[in-house]
Structure 1
Amino acid sequence: MAEYRAGKAGINAEAQARINSKYSDDIAAETLQWIKLLTGEPADTSGNVDNLYNVLRDGTLLCKLVNAIQEGSVKKINQSTMAFKCMENINAFLEAAKKLGVPPQETFQTIDLWERQNLYSVVICLQSLGRKAGNYGKPSIGPKEADKNVRQFTEEQLNAGQHVISLQYGTNKGQQTGISFGGRRQM
């Protein structure tokens, strides 16, 4: 776990400080309150880093969360506190979140949570899952998902675009009319 790791130094410490500076207690608290609304846990919904880490680190609450959104998303939740079992829970949550519609760029690596390296990305993933929960009839958090704006064009409308000359091909209008190669430029 993170307690046995040497501290980061130099450019790595600067990068870690930048990652840690993005974390927001308010957004984390909102996320934990949403998790409590769906699962009934945790008792403490304060958004400080230590609380978020302690509540989520074994992955059991994460698995309960995706099961609350869609029953049977995670078949087996490991109750053991052994490292590889906890990381299996986190991996199972991540796979279920992707199936529920969370984009891969909004997920996190297992190690980000387990070794407390990037809790900001954990909150981002949970916020994204919170937006997707509305699609399954559950309460959602964060900004509303965009509605589809499908447009239908007729064949005639599609063909009309083929007869328009794009300005990327150049134009004979404007200041450069009448200038030919080798000619003098009048001032």
Structure 2
Amino acid sequence: MINQNKHYHFLLVICCTMYVLSKMSVLCKYSFRISKFHTCPAQNSKFLTIVDHSLEQCVDECTRRTSCKAIGFKRLFRLCELYAHEISPAVTDKHCVMVLRNDMDERPTLCNCNDTSVCEEETGQCVQKECPPEQHFLNVTFRGNMNEVNANKSVKCHDGFFEVKNKNLERYATCSQFGHWIFVPQCKGTVQSFILEHV
């Protein structure tokens, strides 16, 4: 019985050691350096927030996306934020560190993915993960900052504009599995709003 217990503990130690080493190899696969301490990128270019990630995992998420130009990482909360721009003025935050894309090792290109999909190394396939930020839609207000597949944002025409079909009713846009927003209102202005916009 004692020999069986020793054998069991020996196997357990080996399995745990192999697990830790495999995790370390993933975390150390790509090197990076901290661009700025106590700083986060400007919030207006954030396109994805991921919880319960390490700094190394956050960098890995960024390097898998062509649209990611910087990360902000809050170690206290294990909060990973991905940003589409690095040229915006940075924000002071004592809990945050910023890593720019130029300070990350680039991973070998296995796939030719678009800005909102991620290359899965195991299969060499592009997987749609997000929808693009919606800033280019004219006269539409989006509420919410989540862009991943199946995320919802409330959408509404600006004051003085009306939705062609729904008469300014507030609706929800959903990020589809194909990487585009389902239901984006077509907002048209009244003559008065057109004049105010062009004065």
Q: Kindly name which structure, 1 or 2, has the bigger radius of gyration based on alpha carbons.
A: 1
Q: Could you tell me the TM-score, scaled by structure 1's length?
A: 0.22
Between structures 1 and 2, the one with greater strand share? 2
Between structures 1 and 2, the one with greater helix share? 1
Q: Could you tell me the TM-score, scaled by structure 2's length?
A: 0.21
